[in-house]
Structure 1
């Protein structure tokens, strides 16, 4: 009995084994027109079908996210949470706190600056008083006539009844108060002793800070009086007002 030399199956006389027949090759899909731009895959548990003309399309490019992550991978790499809600709450709170601090600190700083400048002007008035008394002592020792009742001012047109060369006073005053030329001032003297001193940066502007001696931060500006216990000046008082008040007292022989 004959046998198939290919598969070993027994054959009848004249029979041909079917295993020697070559099957027709399966038709291959035409991928020449396959799309090259594939929409991204959004990451489901299973990838979407990926085919062209009803046939599987195994060639690249593959969709983004292919293959889909497993459930275990999704647990290990959870999606990042947005912190936008934090900014939406925290930023307005910070802004409100900053506005509150500004409302509190700015007036406090302005008040501190004003008090600081006022204290500085009272200090200048004390310096002017002491420096002028020192000059009077020097003029007296030099034999100058310092007796009498008179007013010396930074504005020479306001000087009254000075018995000596006032130019010598101005020159000597610079030795004890080097920035005196930066200010407007006047002093009231009696027999070579300074009884009152007032100083400011401006004669007529009441808003400028004024320093007087006697006077001070705690008791305010004082008007001239021989005993040093003059009336307290109003905050709207200018240096010119203080000068006119002193002149009136001067005229009264007070």
Structure 2
């Protein structure tokens, strides 16, 4: 594939991750308004598609309800696998698998044209998220 096409796909994936991070943060604000317990959410995982596959670590808040909130702000996340790390009621890093080849992260800069294949596929979301968390620290 041409270099500029790869660069565009990587940039688009990282942009999707940034939009996901913002959607999660907005959803966390809503959770905090409802339960004042968003600060205890530490990790959010979505296997894609099925809303019941959302796992929230550190809180008993419904994963299905949280995914519905995120989907309101980012429709593109509805059928995608994604993971996010939260601290103090704020999403600090996110990773999303936009397709079988490209994964994006926020903060950006983890997945690049040179290393995108290292993070390809939803099975490597943990690696992408871990690198994004390190970058955010």
Question: TM-score normalised to the size of structure 1?
Answer: 0.42
Query: Cα RMSD (Å) of the superposition?
Result: 2.9
- Segments of 5+ residues of structure 1 without an aligned counterpart are 1-106, 223-232
Greater RCO (CA < 8 Å, at least 6 residues apart): 2
Q: 3-state DSSP class of the match of 2:39?
A: coil
Larger helix fraction of residues: 2
**Alignment match, 1:213:** 106
- Distance in 1, matches of 2:20 and 2:103, equals 13
Deviation at 1:145, TM superposition (A): 1.7
Deviation at 1:192, TM superposition (A): 1.4
Matched, 1:183 2:80: yes
8 Å contact kept, 1:152–1:162: no
Matched, 1:240 2:123: yes
Distance 1:119 1:170, change over 3 A: same
Deviation at 1:195, TM superposition (A): 0.9
**Alignment match, 1:227:** none
Find the structure with the greater CA-based Rg: 1
Deviation at 1:129, TM superposition (A): 0.4
* Alpha-carbon displacement from aligned partner over 1:204-240 (angstroms, at most 9, x marks no partner): x5xx11110111xxx3429xxxxxxxxxx94323443
**Alignment match, 1:98:** none
8 Å contact kept, 1:197–1:212: yes
Deviation at 1:159, TM superposition (A): 4.7
The number of residues matched between the two structures is 124
**Alignment match, 1:101:** none
Distance 1:176 1:154, change over 3 A: same
- Distance in 2, matches of 1:246 and 1:178, equals 21
Deviation at 1:150, TM superposition (A): 2.0
8 Å contact kept, 2:41–2:56: no
Question: TM-score normalised to the size of structure 2?
Answer: 0.74
Q: 3-state DSSP class of the match of 1:164?
A: coil
8 Å contact kept, 2:44–2:84: yes
Larger strand fraction of residues: 2
